[in-house]
Amino acid sequence: MARVLVAGYDGTSRVPGTSDGAARLWSALSEQKTAATAPWERVFIREDSKSSLITCRKIKARADAARFKLALGGEHLITFPLIESLQRAEPKLRLVVLDAHHDAYDYPLLTHFSLFHFLWEELKIPTLIVGVRHEVEKAAPGCQLVPMSTVRAQGIEATLARVQAFTEGAPFYLSVDLDVLDPSALPAVSDPIPGGLSIAELGSVVDTILGWRPLAMDLVEYNGVRDPGGQALRGLQPILRSVAQWLS
Say whether domain 2-247 belongs to CATH 3.30.110.30: no
Q: Residue 125: helix, strand or coil by DSSP?
A: coil
Q: What is the band of 137 on the pLDDT scale with cuts at 50, 70, 90?
A: very high
pTM: 0.97
Q: Count of H helices and E strands in the chain?
A: 9, 8
Q: Would the pLDDT of 14 be above 90?
A: no
Query: What does the alpha-carbon distance between residue 128 and residue 11 come to, in Å, rounded to a whole number?
Result: 25
Q: Put residue 212 in one of left, alpha, beta given phi > 0 → left and psi -120 to 50 → alpha.
A: alpha
Q: What is the band of 143 on the pLDDT scale with cuts at 50, 70, 90?
A: very high
